[in-house]
């Protein structure tokens, strides 16, 4: 399955999205600044507990990032290899392994944001972060990407099935890519045109009403924790 | 957040169209991340994500093509599963392949700039093949350069170590080399797409 919002009522679900973004940024800064055995050992408990607060487990998150795993594992192996004796050196491999582990911790925390934050909250946070019309356009754009992703995926899958049913699998790879993408692109262009008409018909404006975002005490606490984590960069 | 009550300011027609196209192309790039083909010359499968970057540059031009990829990154950052393998979240940007993703807005803008220049957008059908190839090769160079540097930075404890030549070579071998032959197929396919008769709207 793909990494997506999971409804729930845990601590993290109730936090303001801006506080959660600050926490992620603080954690990442701390992990990148203290890539030592001691630093990462201190951050590990946080990274392990946080997914649980969002109603997910560490195993869930690791499953989501299968695609990254080969890179994280290959990098230390390649760093340790040498041309000639002794063929493999432990020290550089260990340093790079530490860097890989740091990425894993950051991924755990970042995935937790996705589990615990609905799209409309993220959109409101984007509008708050970016000023004026830029924020408004980005907010609506982000919401539209969420909405159109499954639709266009469906288009491409249908197109691919159609190409395969007509023995497209026996054509060259260039031709297969072209056939699938032409169909997807044609549909996407006509969907964009219809979307533009629909937006105009509904008085698409620069100043619609966003869901209210309000900072409660727990949000200030989370922000203070984020600032603390970011502050460790200076230590 | 305060509710604004002093009237409605409508978005201009041209801007509405551009925002709609930028969002749909961002979603298309995300959808293409799920389509993979067996690569005949290398074990790494070919995903079409980068083709989405090329097409955004060719069909939306430098400004809105770049904007479309910025939307793609922000949407992915806040949780739309648009990255390779259904990934999402800000963590993806500091993962080993984050450099590739962060280069997409620049690559799409460069594609649009080389193909269309700074003047009005031409129909990609009317842009010469040499120009199209140059645009997409330039974008590929940007993507792989950023990808290699990103991989090196993420995989080394310090910046000084990341920019050592041996590190960059390692990074390129692990994260880049296996995927480059596939880009040639995508560039060829993209040229075929702009020349397709099936595509009447553009």
Residues B96-132: tens digit of each pLDDT: 788 889 999 999 999 999 998 877 777 888 888 888 9
Tally the domains of chain A: 2
What is the pLDDT at residue A35? 79
Question: Could you tell me if residue B95 is inside a domain?
Answer: yes
Q: Residue B156 and residue A99: Cβ atoms within 8 Å?
A: yes
pLDDT band at B54 (very low <50, low <70, confident <90, very high): very high
How far is the CA of A1 from the CAs of A60, A66, A154, B38, in angstroms?
10, 11, 16, 22
Residue A108 and residue A19 share a domain? yes
Question: Could you tell me if residue A4 is inside a domain?
Answer: no
Question: Could you tell me if residue B99 is inside a domain?
Answer: yes
Q: What is the CATH number of the domain that holds B123?
A: 1.10.1760.20
What is the pLDDT at residue B72? 94
Residue A50 and residue A16 share a domain? yes
Question: Could you tell me if residue B88 is inside a domain?
Answer: yes
Range of the domain at A140: 131-201
Q: Residue A149 and residue B20: Cβ atoms within 8 Å?
A: no
Task: Report how far residue B21's alpha carbon sits from residue A93's, in angstroms, rounded to the nearest whole number.
Answer: 46
Q: What is the mean pLDDT of residues B175-189?
A: 80
Tally the domains of chain B: 1
3-state secondary structure of B5: coil
Cα dihedral B38, B43, B44, B47, rounded to 10, equals -10
Name which of A26, A128, A149, A205 to mutate to probe chain B: the one with the most chain B Cβ atoms within 10 A of its Cβ.
A149
Structure tokens at B25: 């192309």
Range of the domain at B41: 15-194
pLDDT band at B43 (very low <50, low <70, confident <90, very high): low
Residue A83 and residue A62 share a domain? yes
Q: Residue A185 and residue B55: Cβ atoms within 8 Å?
A: yes
Question: B23-45 burial, b if ≥16 CB within 10 A, otherwise e?
Answer: bbbbbbbbbbbbbebebeeeeee
What is the pLDDT at residue A32? 81
What is the pLDDT at residue B24? 93
Q: What integer best gives the mean pLDDT of chain B?
A: 83
Residue A100 and residue A149 share a domain? no
How far is the CA of A171 from the CAs of A75, A179, A181, in angstroms?
36, 10, 15
**ipTM attached to this prediction:** 0.83
Q: Which residue of chain B comes nearest to A116, CA vs CA?
A: B79
Residue A177 and residue A135 share a domain? yes
B158 or A69: whose pLDDT is higher?
Answer: A69
Residue A49 and residue A156 share a domain? no
Residue A219 and residue A151 share a domain? no
Question: Could you tell me if residue B4 is inside a domain?
Answer: no
Residue A178 and residue A101 share a domain? no
A2 neighbourhood in chain B, CB within 8 Å: 81, 86-88
Question: Could you tell me if residue B6 is inside a domain?
Answer: no
Residue A183 and residue A91 share a domain? no
Question: Could you tell me if residue B150 is inside a domain?
Answer: yes
- Polymer length of chain A: 235
Task: Report how far residue A192's alpha carbon sits from residue A197's, in angstroms, rounded to the nearest whole number.
Answer: 9
Under-50 pLDDT residues of chain A: 1
Find how far residue B92's CA is from the centre of its chain: 15
Distance from CA of B117 to the nearest CA of A (A): 22
Tell me whether residue A107 is exposed, middle or buried, using C-beta atoms within 10 angstroms of its C-beta: 0 to 12, 13 to 18, 19 or more. buried
Name which of A33, A125, A154, A192 to mutate to probe chain B: the one with the most chain B Cβ atoms within 10 A of its Cβ.
A192
């Amino acid at each position: 399955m793909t990494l997506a919002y999971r409804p729930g009522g845990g601590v993290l679900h109730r936090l303001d999205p801006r506080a959660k973004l600050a926490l992620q940024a603080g954690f990442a800064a701390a992990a990148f600044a203290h890539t030592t055995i001691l630093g990462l050992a201190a951050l590990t408990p946080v990274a392990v507990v946080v997914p649980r607060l969002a109603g997910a487990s560490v195993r869930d998150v690791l499953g989501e990032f299968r695609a990254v795993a080969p890179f994280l594992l290959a990098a230390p192996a390649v760093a340790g290899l040498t041309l000639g004796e002794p063929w493999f050196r432990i020290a550089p491999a260990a340093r790079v392994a530490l860097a890989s582990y740091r990425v894993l911790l950051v991924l755990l925390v970042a995935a937790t944001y996705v589990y615990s934050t609905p799209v409309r909250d993220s959109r409101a946070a984007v509008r708050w972060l970016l000023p004026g019309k830029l924020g408004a356009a980005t907010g609506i754009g982000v919401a539209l990407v969420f909405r159109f992703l499954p639709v266009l995926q469906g288009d491409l899958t249908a197109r691919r099935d159609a190409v395969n049913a007509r023995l497209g699998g026996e054509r060259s790879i260039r031709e297969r890519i072209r056939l699938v993408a032409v169909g997807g692109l044609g549909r996407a262009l006509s969907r964009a045109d219809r979307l533009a008409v629909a937006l105009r018909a509904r008085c698409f404006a620069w100043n619609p009403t966003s869901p209210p975002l309000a900072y409660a005490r727990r949000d200030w606490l989370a922000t203070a924790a984020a600032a603390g984590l970011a502050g460790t960069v200076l230590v | 957040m305060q509710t604004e009550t002093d009237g409605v300011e409508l978005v201009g027609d041209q801007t509405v169209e551009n925002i709609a196209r930028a969002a749909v192309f961002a979603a298309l790039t995300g959808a293409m991340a799920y389509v993979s083909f067996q690569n005949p010359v290398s074990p790494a499968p070919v995903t079409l994500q980068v083709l989405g970057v090329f097409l955004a540059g060719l069909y939306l031009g430098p400004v809105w093509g770049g904007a479309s990829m910025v939307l793609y990154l922000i949407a992915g950052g806040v949780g739309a599963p648009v990255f390779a393998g259904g990934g999402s979240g800000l963590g993806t940007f500091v993962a080993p392949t984050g450099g590739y993703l962060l280069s997409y807005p620049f690559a799409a803008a460069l594609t649009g700039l080389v193909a269309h220049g700074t003047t009005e957008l031409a129909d990609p059908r009317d842009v010469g093949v040499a120009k199209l190839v140059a645009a997409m090769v330039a974008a590929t160079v940007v993507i792989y350069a950023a990808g290699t540097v990103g991989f090196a930075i993420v995989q080394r404890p310090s910046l000084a170590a990341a920019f050592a030549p041996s590190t960059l070579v390692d990074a390129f071998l692990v994260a880049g080399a296996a995927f480059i032959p596939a880009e040639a197929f995508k560039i060829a396919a993209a040229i075929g797409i702009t020349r397709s008769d099936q595509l009447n709207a553009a």
